[in-house]
Amino acid sequence: MKFSRQLTLAAVVALAAVSCGTGSDTPIYKDASQPVEKRVEDLLSRMTLEEKAGQMNQFVGLEHIRANEAHLTPEELRTNTAQAYYPGFPADTIEQWTKEGLIGSFLHVLTIEEANYLQELAMQSRLQIPIMFGIDAIHGNCNCPDNTAYPTSIGLASSFNTELAYKIARQTAAEMRAMNMHWTFNPNVEVARDARWGRCGETFGEDPYLVSRMGVESVKGYQGDMDSDDVLACIKHFVGGSQPINGTNGSPTDLSERTIREVFFPSFKAGVEAGALSLMTAHNELNGIPCHSNEWLMTDVLRGEWDFKGFVVSDWMDIEHIHDLHATAENVKEAIYQSIMAGMDLHMHGVYWNEAVCELVREGRIPESRIDESVRRILDIKFRLGLFEQPFADPQTTMDVRLCKEHRETALEAARQGIVLLKNDGILPLDAKKYRKVLVTGINADDHNIMGDWTAAQKPENCVTILEGLRMIAPETEFVFVDQGWNPQEMSQAKVDEAVAKAGRCDLNIVVAGEHMFRGNWSKKTCGEDTDRSDLDLVGLQQEMIERIHATGVPTVVVLVTGRPLSVEWISNNVPALINAWEPGMYGGQAVAEILYGKVNPSAKLSMTMPRSVGQTQMIYNHKPSQYFHPYVVKPSTPLYPFGFGLSYTEYEYSDLSLSSEEMSADGSLKVSVKVANTGKTAGTEIVQLYLRDRFSQVTRPVKELKDFARVELAPGEEKTVEFTITPDKLMFLDKKMKPIVEPGEFIVMVGSSSADKDLLTASFWVK
Ligand code: BGC
């Protein structure tokens, strides 16, 4: 890092003292003993219009600008959604604006040194308003080097462990604050029902209820009590971007209001109710109106219906895209006008904003009071997070927090709980005495790609690859490794031949296949942001390799590393064991090996259905009753593996599903209980799922909807009774006039181990 001045700890302390004086002429806004509202109003009253516009704007970091200036063209800048620089505005200009108090926030600042340096510049400005640093800390702050990389959200959701989601968010907040970062662009609470879309991995999957539960705990974990050890959460992307036409990121979304309200809104509403204080709008247009200029979304629903108290941030270049992509504004200034008047508060990111905002106010098109509203919301967060008192982080102690033992242990535990065992003909757990010589191959066998999208390159010692995990867990086994490289699109036929030849001479084969999502290889990825697929098959020579290895007759186990469901029907029909590890994070290799060798009994359940082929899209479990009235011809209409499905090394038996009553009043409640027994020989954790169906209703309702779940630990032979409570909110839907209603009539209760009918016990009750 080449900053002109590196901050010493003494300088950090001295500067912090300057920025929060306590003497008698200390302005109210610098007096920490004053209430936040008073501090906000005092500061606002001192600000020029230019300074206000600056608080509403964000820039990418200096190092980011410098790196990109060197290799990107303006055309690449226009289309690339991970990189940026500002042609004609070099990093020095950005530094100058920071000193002048014209920049309120930065993103893509990747080191504590740079964050402190920029903050030092902000402390030279007239009002010394601290910078708020935003970062995509999606599964830990591992988009920056030297931070804990937890599994991505799709795997975390497969644990159905909401406490774990909370814990990871808390730990991430601590690592962020240790780097002087204050605002994570997470959780992504979109409901992902189209596996072609490359961003499924950063969501909690396909079910609105599970997404809401995981999202709420993440928000609470990040934000804590919104103090100096917490960070601001950002629920995103509002809304519908997870279901773009043809599955391509940012393409139009066309959804009925019923579907928006029943499927896509609940997780956002839950996030707002949990206290989320920032929200990011989505790239896409929704029913003909870009989300970034959508007054219905940002103002009527978010503020009017849900009483959202935080601020709205735009997504990458999306205000500009109102003009240059959606073409509903004739120029960028008009786009900015539309966006602000629809409810936008903060602009990610760019150089024309400040000038345009000031002009629009001076021309009388935007009232200054509207600008004040947004600035108030932003300053409120800066005060609450203690930025005025603590604008810097301490480089001497930063590594006491980041990657500390406790965080690493959580990353390992989360990986263990999120890896899904899909098929096991009895070969697993592996017997190390039987399989002495084991072939390991596949693009994800020995690669840091297992950490998933939104991960920067990390030091080798901070990631255990699957091969390393196997060697660690089964030291007596001879692992024969054939490296297929990391790039599925450029696999070598010779390497495949070599693996096949060696496979026949081993006792067992482990093929680690799947997708490539490392952002550092942006244009070569097959999964992740802006990386959408028109099929869901294994890319490159992977399928051929698996089939040929299987044909050797030596037993073959397939492990998938992926950020999206893959259609692996042939593999599922042919190989004896199949695991979906999702993107298991820094200790994914160890966790996969522990599961393969039975040191850990798998417990995860799919947070997203795995289809047989892309043609089944959307293969969701909570579809409407008429969905397969006319089933597909030639191929089945059932998924390969349904939502909620996952195997264990033990067996669970469900019995005695009972209800506390056969009737429930529309404002009452009802208890559901079921017995779950571990009838096998291994201790395990079963994820018990409760689904409901409204039998007859005035509008069509899904065949089942997840309404509760519980993780139950069971020793061999142990039986437990699991109890759920059904409350009216779980029965509610929108009537013909779009009003919430609990309708009298019969409801079916389904409890079991997956969303598949055969795995569920049923009972019913009546709402009177
Ligand atoms: C993504 C956002 C992300 C932002 C900043 C955009 O391309 O859609 O989710 O927060 O970039 O990295």
Q: How far, in Å, is the centroid of ligand 1 from the Cα of 136?
A: 7
Q: What is the distance between the alpha carbons of residues 91 and 268, in angstroms, rounded to a whole number?
A: 36
Tell which phi-psi region holds residue 500, choosing left (phi > 0), alpha (psi between -120 and 50) or beta: alpha
Angle (nearest 5°) at CA 455 between 451 and 459 = 75
Cβ atoms of residues 144 and 184 within 8 Å:
no
Domain of residue 114, residue span: 1-133+346-351+364-387
Q: Name the residue with the closest Cα to ligand 1, atom 6.
A: 316
Q: How many domains are there within the chain?
A: 3
Residue 24 confidence (pLDDT): 65
Rounded CA separation 596/432 (Å): 10
Does 620 share its domain with 759? no
Tell me the β-bridge partners of 761. 751
Which protein residue's CA is at the shortest distance from atom 11 of ligand 1? 316
741 lies in a domain? Answer: yes
Convert the pLDDT of each residue in 404-419 to its tens digit: 999 999 999 999 999 9
Residues 495 and 573 in one domain: yes
477 lies in the same domain as 547: yes
Q: How far apart are CA 58 and CA 313, in angstroms?
A: 10
Cα–ligand 1 centroid distance for 297 (angstroms): 19
Q: Are strands 478-482 and 289-290 parallel, antiparallel or unpaired?
A: unpaired
Q: What's the confidence (pLDDT) of residue 258?
A: 98
pLDDT at 14: 47
Q: Does residue 315 carry a catalytic annotation?
A: yes
How many whole angstroms from 81 Cα to the centroid of ligand 1?
Answer: 7
Give per-residue burial for 698-719: e unless 16+ CB within 10 Å, then b.
ebebbbbbbbbbbbbebeeeee
Residues 514 and 623 in one domain: yes
Domain-located, residue 140: no
Residues 430 and 377 in one domain: no
Whether residues 443 and 565 share a domain: the answer is yes
368 and 408 both lie in a single domain: no
Domain annotation covers residue 499: yes
Q: Provide the CB-side half-sphere exposure for 576 (13 A, CA).
A: 17
What's CA 462's distance to the chain center, in Å? 21
What's the CA-to-centroid distance between 186 and ligand 1, angstroms? 10
Q: How far is CA 419 from the centre of its chain?
A: 16
Phi/psi zone of residue 649: left (φ > 0), alpha (ψ -120 to 50 degrees), beta? alpha
* Beta-bridge partner residues of 655: 675
Tell whether 599 and 715 lie within a shared domain.
no
Helix (H) or strand (E) holding 570: helix 569-574
Q: What is the dihedral of CA 690, 694, 700, 703, to 10 degrees?
A: 40
| Residues lining ligand 1, Cβ inside 6 A | 81, 107, 136, 185, 236, 315-316
The domain boundary, picked from 628, 643, 670, lies at: 628
Contacts of 91 (CB under 8 A, 6+ apart): 62, 65, 66, 69
Query: Is residue 32 situated within a structural domain?
Result: yes
Evaluate whether residue 271 is within a structural domain: no
Measured from the Cα of 81, ligand 1's closest atom is 7
The C-alpha atoms of residue 702 and residue 364 are separated, in whole angstroms, by 50
**Closest residue to atom 2 of ligand 1, CA basis:** 315
What's the rounded Cα separation, in Å, for the pair 716 and 677?
A: 8
The CA 189 to ligand 1 mean position distance, Å, reads 14
What whole-number distance in Å separates Cα of residue 647 and Cα of residue 467?
23
**369 shares its domain with 409:** no
- Rounded to the nearest angstrom, the distance between the alpha carbon of 316 and the centre of ligand 1 is 6
Which atom of ligand 1 lies at the shortest distance from residue 202's CA? Answer: 9
Catalytic site residue from 146, 194, 315, 708: 315
Q: What is the pLDDT of residues 574-620, one digit of tens each?
A: 999 999 999 999 999 999 999 999 999 999 999 999 999 999 999 99
407 and 380 fall within a common domain:
no
Token pair of 541, please? Answer: 């020579």
**What is the structure's pLDDT at 23?**
59
Q: Which residues pair with 280 in a beta bridge?
A: 313
368 and 447 assigned to the same domain = no
How many CA atoms lie less than 13 Å away from 658 in the CB half-sphere?
Answer: 5
All residues at 6 or more sequence positions from 650 whose CB lies less than 8 Å from its CB, including other chains: 601, 678, 679, 680, 681, 682, 683, 684, 714, 716
214 lies in some domain: no
Task: For residues 562 and 491, give the distance between their C-alpha atoms in angstroms, rounded to a whole number.
Answer: 17
The per-residue pLDDT for range 138-176, each reduced to its tens digit, is 999 999 999 999 999 999 999 999 999 999 999 999 999
Give residue 75's pLDDT.
80
Nearest CA to ligand 1 atom 10: 185
Element holding 59 (H helix, E strand): strand 57-60
pLDDT at 462: 98
Residue with tokens 């959408």: 532
Q: Which atom of ligand 1 is nearest to the CA of 283?
A: 8
| CATH number of the domain to which 743 belongs | 2.60.40.10
In the chain the first and final C-alpha atoms are separated, in Å, by 68
In a domain, 85, yes or no: yes
Ligand 1 pocket: which of 58, 77, 81 to mutate (most atoms <8 Å of CB)? 81
Amino acid type, 420: V
Domain assignment present for residue 715? The answer is: yes
Residue 109 and residue 60 share a domain:
yes
If one residue of 279, 316, 453 were mutated to test the ligand 1 pocket, choosing by the most ligand atoms within 8 A of its CB, it would be 316
Residue 343 C-alpha from the chain's centroid: 24
CATH code for position 480: 3.40.50.1700
pLDDT along the chain (768 residues), means of 10: 43 49 80 98 98 98 91 79 83 96 98 98 98 98 98 99 99 98 98 98 98 99 98 98 97 98 98 98 98 98 98 97 97 98 97 97 98 98 98 98 98 99 98 98 98 98 98 98 98 98 98 98 96 98 98 98 98 98 99 99 98 97 98 97 98 98 95 98 98 98 98 98 98 98 98 98 97
**Rounded distance between C-alpha atoms, residue 186 and residue 743, angstroms:** 36
